[in-house]
Structure 1
Amino acid sequence: MTNEEYVPHFRYMPDQPEKWPRGAAWTLTHAHDAGQVTGIRCARCNVTRYYKPAELREVIGNVTIDEVREKVRCQKCGSREWMGAELFHPTGEQAHTIRYRRLVQIRWEKRVIWRDE
């Protein structure tokens, strides 16, 4: 066989996906699509909780992991300063042992504020 016989097979290969654009933000939607897990840790209480990025996105919005770190507060001690957040791919063992905090519902409170004149 000659090279001309092999060329048509390579000519019509599907396009390869582009590399991630430099400077583009990796958001919770991208993390969910990639199968990542969000781990949020309070260094003061030494408590780590795991979330699905899609559920965090519903509460916080489609933000980067750095913005998640700024917006969360420890439920145990109420601190914001000690919070850390990371996105990671769970290993095989982790995937079976991680206990996720799942979103049940979102409630909106209606508060009335009065002003005396």
Structure 2
Amino acid sequence: MHAHNAGQAAKVRCGLCSVTRFYKPAELREVYGNVTIREIGQKMRCMKCDKGEYMDADLLVPLGAEAISIKYRRLVRIEFLRHIVWRDEP
């Protein structure tokens, strides 16, 4: 069973600047593919300090007041950047 269907939330925390964000597991799966939650923590970068080595991710089941108070970071769109490189002929 996928974590999203089990009602779980992904908690991603930067150990350097102590920023914690919550994500829907289905959206993380769309971005990073079918990987474990530990691998997601290794692939993400903190948007505040722009470092990736301090990231930690875990799954949790929000209950009661916690389930109501969580503010999720939602996926809006995925953009691909096209980078063009030129070279001069000798």
TM-score (normalizing by structure 2): 0.91
Aligned counterpart, 1:52: 24
The gaps in structure 1 that reach 5 residues or longer are 1-28
Deviations 1:26-67 (Å, cap 9, x if unpaired)?
xxx711121110000001111100000001111111110111
Rg larger in structure: 1
Query: In the comparison of the two structures, how many residue pairs are matched?
Result: 89
- Percent identity, aligned pairs only? 56
Cα distance, 1:89 vs structure 2: 0.3
User: Which of 70, 74, 79 does residue 102 from structure 1 map onto?
Assistant: 74
Moved over 2 A (4+): 114-117
> What secondary structure sits across from 1:46 in the alignment?
coil
1:80 aligns with 2:78: no
Distance in 1 (alpha carbons) for counterparts of 2:88 and 2:41: 38
Q: How does 1:1-117 map to 2 (within 5 A)?
A: 30-117=2-89
Structure with greater helix share of residues: 1
Cα distance, 1:104 vs structure 2: 0.8
**Partner amino acid, structure 1, of 2:64:** G
Deviations 1:3-35 (Å, cap 9, x if unpaired)?
xxxxxxxxxxxxxxxxxxxxxxxxxx7111211
Aligned counterpart, 1:25: none
Q: Which has the higher contact order (CA 8 A, sep 6+)?
A: 2
Distance in 2 (alpha carbons) for counterparts of 1:61 and 1:90: 23
Distance in 1 (alpha carbons) for counterparts of 2:55 and 2:82: 29
Distance in 2 (alpha carbons) for counterparts of 1:64 and 1:109: 26
Distance in 2 (alpha carbons) for counterparts of 1:95 and 1:83: 23
CA RMSD of aligned residues (A): 1.3
